[in-house]
Amino acid sequence: MIVELGHFALILALTVAVVQSFVPLVGAQRGWRAWMAVGDPAATAQFLLIGLSFAALTWAFVTSDFSLRVVTLNSHTAKPMIYKVTGVWGNHEGSMLLWVLILALFGASAAWFGGNLPAGLRARVLSVQGMIGVAFLLFILLTSNPFDRLATPPFEGEDLNPLLQDPGLAFHPPFLYLGYVGLSMSFSFAVAALIEGRVDAAWGRWVRPWTLAAWLFLTVGIALGSWWAYYELGWGGFWFWDPVENASFMPWLIAAALLHSAIVVEKREALKSWTILLAILAFGFSLIGTFIVRSGVLTSVHAFANDPERGVFILMILGFFVGGALMLFAARASVMEAKGVFGLVSREGALIANNILLAVACFVVFVGTIWPLVAELFFDRKLSVGPPFFDAAFTPFMVALAVILPVGSALPWKRGKLGRVMRRLWGVLAVSVALGALVWSMQSGRSALAPVGFALGSWLILGALIDLAQRTGRGELLERARRLRGLPRADWGKAVSHAGLGVTFVGIAAMTAWTVEDIRVVRPGEMFEVAGYTITLDAVREDVRGPNYLTTFAEVSVFDGERRVASLAPEKRVYPAAGMPTTEAAIDNGIFRDLYVVIGDAQEGGGFAIRTYVKPFANWIWAGAIVMALGGILSLSDRRYRVAAGARRAPASALPAE
């Protein structure tokens, strides 16, 4: 009964979404207030209905209702409760339901918090949001209905993929979807502005918080996914350039570009059409991502229920929204004349450089991701594009970005002098180069990776600090410290995010360059040395029972000289319901290094394969991402977004649509 209610609520949500797509839009075009006002209650109703539907599906998972196909395929009565709940989105159908739930949440948020938007813009935004809702609700109901029943329900389910039975599943997909779907707001704002034929500073100010929110959720989602892969897959990689990872990375890059170009719209009323285009592309890439993940046209380690029919449907959605928006863009972009004039050497110029580098980097990832498909279709070559290509083709853009960032963020608007800006930054540059040289001289290998990474990281972090310091102006130290507290949150956010990027640079460079690996057969009681640590395998306990698995775990002690630094228990589990083994690495996290131990198979002739890694600065990678996201939160909390958000310039400057 509850399941039927959920199914019914979903269908009802679709009809509400249809109403939301048309009524407010027509109202806005005709200037009918009552029709425009339909958007708000419709968005709220759509969210509540999908919420009800999602709750019903969760109920089915929690009570192990095996009459539902998805529950049978992805659950098991013996599964711990947390994984019964997270299992709701650990499969294609349920995750799509979460997708539309978040979509509806964003639409409803625009209705709830968009009080300061002009009625016309709000109505149009809600309409576009409603259309996206219609498309995806149709997709769910027609191709991936989570409420499909089985004629003969089995007694037991087939269990969730054991790799997914991890707290990572609780957070990684929801955050990622908050990011993906959040970009639909930027898209809706862009399309609404195109329909209105008006983009001004106020528009830039409204669209930026939504983009910022989406970007920061994506940042957290990607970081969580990377961290999950790091500890779950058992060999300590953090990024694989897998198509599905790229699918989340491309919108992130474009969102980062959009975030910066929207500043130019807000402060200087320039780059308008480019910003609109980026907003369309950002959501376009998140749809492409959805297509890549769900259609299975590209082989990926992320095994999802792939189905060509679903792929075609998503391709149609993609074509309709991105194609339609681009056509609208082509027709209307000329209306949006830029006002602000600026020289090449200026904050605007630097932000354009940022946009070019991020967009080209995204393009490289895109080409690399789809190239196997293109090569097979058009050139009859079956080939692979893997990490070696991406590392070589992508990294230079990030290096260039890091090099110009501290300079660009210190340049004044309109017209600046490089010499003036550099006067403040020479010290930072000298320190960073010196740090790079020091790292170079200390390391044993010949790789330039770590020295360059450290130099860039310090250049970014110290550059951000100098930026903050110079914002306080001249005067006594105490007075300046006081002013530091009074700086707008957005300035803090900027500095913190840029520093976070520096932290990630250091982490990636150090871990990639300096990881030490050791593989050997060890018998219980033996000891061995890795990178200065003495490691003993104290005991191995086989076939210990867990809640829904059997585990073999080792007791490992790590000593630094005489001092015990860690006791680790790497595990090897077998999940009988799914018939699958998993490796649970044991990691001793540290600020400057991770100790990472994995137990492998029992060897003929006794002993176990033991793999040990010492991974320097590993946690800096994710810490940097979290710092970046914190910067985003700081910037979001800036009071300017709340207080002055409604202050649109005099309507005299507006260009009417009709």
- Which residue ranges make up the site for other proteins (CB under 8 A)? 163, 232-235, 237, 240, 242-243, 299-301, 303, 338, 341-344, 349, 352, 356-357, 359-361, 363-364, 367-368, 371, 375, 378-379, 381-389, 392-394, 397, 519-521, 572, 580-583, 598, 600-601, 603, 609, 611
Nearer to other proteins, 113 or 235 (CB): 235
Min dist. Cβ of residue 598 to other proteins (A): 6
The SS3 assignment for 337 reads: coil
Nearer to other proteins, 42 or 250 (CB): 250
Nearer to other proteins, 2 or 375 (CB): 375
Min dist. Cβ of residue 439 to other proteins (A): 21
Min dist. Cβ of residue 591 to other proteins (A): 27
Residues with Cβ within 8 Å of residue 124, at least 6 apart in sequence: 24, 25, 28, 188, 191, 192, 195, 196
Min dist. Cβ of residue 389 to other proteins (A): 5
User: What distance in Å separates the CA atoms of residue 244 and residue 242, rounded to the nearest whole number?
Assistant: 5
Min dist. Cβ of residue 259 to other proteins (A): 18
Query: Sign of torsion, CA 117 175 38 327?
Result: positive
Nearer to other proteins, 19 or 580 (CB): 580
User: What distance in Å separates the CA atoms of residue 469 and residue 472, rounded to the nearest whole number?
Assistant: 6
User: What distance in Å separates the CA atoms of residue 617 and residue 631, rounded to the nearest whole number?
Assistant: 21
Which residues, in sequence order, are bridge partners of residue 610?
520, 599
Nearer to other proteins, 410 or 522 (CB): 522
User: What distance in Å separates the CA atoms of residue 373 and residue 291, rounded to the nearest whole number?
Assistant: 14
Min dist. Cβ of residue 463 to other proteins (A): 23
Min dist. Cβ of residue 450 to other proteins (A): 17
Nearer to other proteins, 241 or 252 (CB): 241
- In 3D space, the residue among 494, 201, 207, 186 whose CA is nearest the CA of residue 340 turns out to be 201
Cite the beta strand spans of 262-337 per DSSP E. none
Nearer to other proteins, 326 or 356 (CB): 356
Burial of residue 277 (CB within 10 Å: 0-12, 13-18, 19+) is buried
Nearer to other proteins, 343 or 475 (CB): 343
Nearer to other proteins, 302 or 640 (CB): 302
- Please give the torsion angle defined by the CA atoms of residues 67, 69, 71 and 72, in that order, rounded to the nearest 10 degrees: 80
Nearer to other proteins, 209 or 368 (CB): 368
Angle between helices 308-318 and 119-143 (to 10 degrees): 160
Q: What is the largest CA-CA distance in the chain?
A: 86
269 token code pair: 């009323």
User: What distance in Å separates the CA atoms of residue 202 and residue 394, rounded to the nearest whole number?
Assistant: 35
Min dist. Cβ of residue 589 to other proteins (A): 20
DSSP 320: I
Which residues, in sequence order, are bridge partners of residue 129?
none
Min dist. Cβ of residue 568 to other proteins (A): 16
Nearer to other proteins, 242 or 588 (CB): 242
- In 3D space, the residue among 538, 539, 535 whose CA is nearest the CA of residue 560 turns out to be 535
Nearer to other proteins, 388 or 651 (CB): 388
Min dist. Cβ of residue 595 to other proteins (A): 17
Question: Cα–Cα distances in Å, from 106 out to 22, 118, 144, 253?
Answer: 18, 18, 22, 21
516 token code pair: 């030490």
Nearer to other proteins, 139 or 613 (CB): 613
Question: Cα–Cα distances in Å, from 488 out to 256, 495, 581, 616, 635?
Answer: 21, 11, 52, 36, 8
CB 587 within 8 A of CB 560: no
Min dist. Cβ of residue 401 to other proteins (A): 12
The radius of gyration computed from the CA coordinates of the chain, to the nearest angstrom, equals: 27
Min dist. Cβ of residue 354 to other proteins (A): 12
Min dist. Cβ of residue 117 to other proteins (A): 30
90 token code pair: 């650990």
Question: Cα–Cα distances in Å, from 391 out to 196, 213, 285, 468?
Answer: 42, 28, 21, 33
Which residues, in sequence order, are bridge partners of residue 540?
554
